[in-house]
Amino acid sequence: MSERTIAAEADGLTMAYGEGDARVLALDGVSLDLYEGEFTAVMGPSGSGKSTLMHCLAALETPTDGKAYIGDAEVSGLDDKRLTALRRDRIGFIFQSFNLVPTLTARENILLPASIAGRKVDQELFDDAIHAVGLESRLGHRPSQLSGGQQQRVACARALVTQPDIIFADEPTGNLDSRSGEEVLSFLRRSVDRLGQTIVMVTHDALAAGFTDRVVFLADGRVVDEMRDPTSERVLDRMKQFESRAGRR
């Protein structure tokens, strides 16, 4: 197997919310390497810490203990200015609720992060992304004139055209019907295969996990298992095993 390069790393990440009786340990010492050019899914029951892990890795939250790295930059060691630059220049986000600017067209939404960063978007990459997500005829439309699936494809193109080191996607198909969801997942898959994009995606959906290269399973704030080259059937089976184990506890 060829040597893999680490795109992001969790090193003993611990996150406690609240105090005393109300204390919740959302992450309980998670150590995990995420590799360049891979599509990784993070799965686990509700409350298992998936979003918290992603937020700590993406420098949106500061862990109680442990370290998060993007490449070799330790996220918690950066001052505010460097952190803003890291998020802007090296990380892409796709959210369940799309988070598009309602007053801007699809084209303007896609170009916004690059424009804020004062960077030019590579025209070929822009054309490629638009073609891949099938939005050629929708570039002048505002989000309210687009379907949910089209809006999420705009959000995917927006994350992709800045060519970030890593894209974090938090349940990107959670608000979509199965057909639109599959379109978005195929697009993400292609951007990994064709552009070598690195993507980490939180999902509850075994079908979505079937599009990835690797699934990491969380339970109670810990990594409890992982699967390479998953199929949705194998992921479903594994999830059933977890549920029956949790039921016996």
Ligand X SMILES: Nc1ncnc2c1ncn2[C@@H]1O[C@H](COP(=O)(O)OP(=O)(O)OP(=O)(O)O)[C@@H](O)[C@H]1O
Given the rule CB under 6 A, which residues bind ligand X? 17-18, 24, 26, 44, 46-52
- 26 vs 199 by CB, closer to ligand X: 26
- 18 vs 134 by CB, closer to ligand X: 18
Specify whether the CB–CB gap between 192 and 35 falls below 8 A: no
Work out how close the CB of 219 gets to ligand X at its nearest, in angstroms, rounded to a whole number. Answer: 9
CB-side neighbour CA atoms (13 Å) of 92: 28
Specify whether the CB–CB gap between 168 and 121 falls below 8 A: no
Work out how close the CB of 65 gets to ligand X at its nearest, in angstroms, rounded to a whole number. Answer: 15
Element (H, E) at 237: helix 232-248
- Among residues 42, 56, 18, the alpha carbon closest in space to that of 200 is found at 42
- 7 vs 15 by CB, closer to ligand X: 15
- 16 vs 112 by CB, closer to ligand X: 16
**C-alpha 89: how far from chain center:** 16
- 51 vs 191 by CB, closer to ligand X: 51
Work out how close the CB of 5 gets to ligand X at its nearest, in angstroms, rounded to a whole number. Answer: 27
Instruction: Determine whether 200 is exposed, middle or buried from the number of CB atoms within 10 Å of its CB (0-12, 13-18, 19+).
Output: buried
Work out how close the CB of 57 gets to ligand X at its nearest, in angstroms, rounded to a whole number. Answer: 12
Work out how close the CB of 229 gets to ligand X at its nearest, in angstroms, rounded to a whole number. Answer: 24
Q: Which pair of structure tokens corresponds to residue 166?
A: 């890593």
**Separation CA 197–CA 167 (nearest Å):** 8
Work out how close the CB of 210 gets to ligand X at its nearest, in angstroms, rounded to a whole number. Answer: 19
- 14 vs 76 by CB, closer to ligand X: 14
- Among residues 123, 19, 130, 9, the alpha carbon closest in space to that of 74 is found at 9
